[in-house]
């Protein structure tokens, strides 16, 4: 699998709006029609549209072939649009982040169906990282300092770091919407951008996913140290329209669970290239798996309104 960290460093989290579909013969999944006779697969705007289409083309193609139902890939304008699509029935399945999924479940706009596996595990780690030569020895040392974060809706790059800061006794104010009332100055961008800001001494620390802090050997980059870490965040799920029947949901879940490795290799069909998907398998999951994420969302008093920000 190619390095997601390397891609993020060069591409950032840019994206364009728009929709397009995979062509194919219209058919039915058994006796299920999925509303308009096709399965609408929605992608969250976490990376550039063309890049994500290249990644997911064989994934959607496999789902189409196995179900006999046209699969349409859609690129959402924002995370709120993902939940709106699921809640309104214009999307049947979506890939999204843990917090967006948690907020969708809270708002009855999504049902968790699958958990993704990557980099050898089903969960991952959020970190608050600083430079070894800094004066930051604990989270309380960040009072009055500038802290970089990833996108405000990122689990590992914003929400868990804020949770760690709050648990340490710092006031987070209106974060992640803004840093008003917070004991620190917050700057939200992306994982790569936040870590680069730390590298360039523009922030005293960065709250990011651990993956962005590692070198090519998988070790923490030279010159840096973790102030705090939070392990065990369940990796990003796939969610479905809550109005799908159990048969419709289970057919999708079982099909993707049994998918061959090749569908993760991207449009070029070759492993370990730039268009590989960042994950390599999925397993059935439900609300229980993501209860820790929902707990943090509640602790930070977050709602789906957060997804309309930015």
Q: 303: domain CATH number?
A: 3.40.190.10
135-173 residue pLDDT tens = 999 999 999 999 999 988 889 999 999 999 999 999 999
Contact 125, 209 (CB under 8 A): yes
Residue with tokens 């799908």: 244
pLDDT of residue 35: 61
Question: Do 302 and 267 belong together in one domain?
Answer: yes
- 291-299 and 98-106 are packed helices; what angle lies between their axes, rounded to 10 degrees? 80
Residues 104 and 244 in one domain: yes
Q: Are residues 115 and 32 in the same domain?
A: yes
Residues of the chain where predicted confidence (pLDDT) is lower than 70: 1-33, 35-36, 308-310
What is the tens place of the pLDDT at every residue in 101-120? 988 888 899 999 999 999 89
Contact 255, 67 (CB under 8 A): yes
Domain boundary residue, one of 233, 253, 286 = 233
**Are both 140 and 225 inside the same structural domain?**
yes
Tally of structural domains, the chain:
2
Distance, CA of 252 to CA of 153 (rounded, Å): 27
Residue 279, C-beta contacts closer than 8 angstroms, at least 6 positions apart:
116, 117, 118, 235, 236, 264
Domain boundary (176, 208, 233) is at 233
Question: Of the candidates 233, 266, 284, which is a domain's last residue?
Answer: 233
Q: What domain range includes position 132?
A: 123-233
Alpha carbons 179 and 197: distance in angstroms, whole number: 17
CA distance 160 to 182: 16
> pTM (2 decimals)?
0.80
Residues 139 and 173 in one domain: yes
Residues 129 and 171 in one domain: yes
Q: How high is the pLDDT of residue 25? A: 28
Q: Which of 92, 90, 110, 91 is nearest to 100 (CA)?
A: 110
Query: Are 116 and 131 contained in the same domain?
Result: no
On whether both 129 and 163 belong to a single domain, the answer is yes
Where are the strands (E) in the chain, listed by range?
18-19, 38-43, 70-75, 93-95, 111-117, 123-131, 146-149, 185-188, 205-209, 224-234, 237-240, 281-284
pLDDT of the residue at 309: 64
């Amino acid at each position: 699998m190619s390095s997601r960290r390397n891609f993020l460093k060069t591409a950032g989290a840019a994206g364009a709006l728009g929709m397009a579909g995979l062509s194919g013969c219209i058919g039915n999944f058994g006796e299920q029609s999925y509303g308009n006779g096709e399965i609408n697969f929605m992608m969250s705007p976490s990376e550039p549209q063309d890049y994500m289409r290249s990644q997911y083309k064989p994934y959607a193609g496999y789902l189409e072939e196995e179900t006999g139902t046209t699969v349409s890939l859609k690129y959402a304008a924002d995370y709120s649009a993902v939940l709106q699509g699921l809640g309104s029935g214009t999307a049947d399945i979506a890939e999204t982040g843990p917090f967006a999924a948690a907020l969708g479940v809270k708002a009855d706009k999504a049902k968790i169906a699958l958990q993704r596996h990557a980099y050898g595990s089903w969960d991952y780690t959020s970190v608050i990282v600083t430079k070894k030569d800094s004066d930051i020895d604990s989270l309380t040392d960040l009072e009055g300092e500038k802290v970089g974060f990833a996108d405000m809706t990122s689990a590992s790059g914003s929400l868990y770091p804020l949770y760690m800061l709050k648990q340490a006794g710092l006031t987070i104010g209106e974060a992640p919407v803004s840093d008003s009332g917070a004991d620190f100055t917050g700057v939200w961008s992306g994982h790569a951008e936040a870590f680069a800001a730390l590298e360039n001494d523009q922030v005293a620390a960065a709250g990011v996913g651990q993956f962005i802090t590692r070198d090519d050997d998988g070790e923490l980059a030279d010159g840096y140290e973790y102030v705090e870490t939070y392990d065990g965040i369940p990796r990003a799920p796939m969610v479905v329209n809550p109005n799908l029947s159990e048969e419709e949901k289970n057919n999708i879940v079982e099909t993707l669970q049994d998918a061959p490795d090749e569908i993760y290799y991207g449009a070029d069909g070759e492993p370990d290239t730039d268009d590989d998907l960042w994950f390599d398998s999925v397993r059935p999951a439900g609300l229980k798996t993501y209860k820790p994420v929902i707990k943090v969302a509640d602790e930070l008093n977050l709602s789906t309104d957060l997804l309309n920000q930015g």
